[in-house]
Amino acid sequence: MATQTKWVWGPMKVTDMDQLQGVIIGVEWKCVAIDDQTGMNTSTNGLLDLPPPNPNDFITLDNVTVEIVNGWIAQYMTGQSDIEAQVSQDLNSMLNPAVKIYPMPTPPDPAPEPVAPTE
């Protein structure tokens, strides 16, 4: 089974704090595992919390770039390989369940009632 994982970043959590406006305090993330053969997928998500901003030099929604977000991910996001392994394992469990579920058997149609002869 070939599985690929994909990371999706955003949206960002923004707040006003201590006279600072539009401070980014976190970035939401999602890790998706996709089976190459069936297209079946599963995912897990979370929030990358950022440290408190420096009041003299902080990033706002107005001046954030993809490069800045990628820098945060590289600096503060730990355990990405563990997350990828877990979501891949979850997908494998979905594709190869230990317990399989089957529908109830359909009862046979009842036998027709005998018809009394008419004279």
- So where are the chain's domains? 3-95
What pTM did the predictor assign?
0.67
C-alpha neighbours within 13 Å on the C-beta side of residue 25: 10
- What is the distance of C-alpha 87 from the center of its chain? 8
On whether the CB atoms of residues 79 and 40 are closer than 8 A, the answer is no
On whether the CB atoms of residues 84 and 32 are closer than 8 A, the answer is no
What are the tens digits of pLDDT across the range 50-87? 888 888 888 888 888 889 888 888 888 888 889 889 99
On whether the CB atoms of residues 61 and 43 are closer than 8 A, the answer is no
> pLDDT confidence of 32, banded at 50, 70, 90?
very high
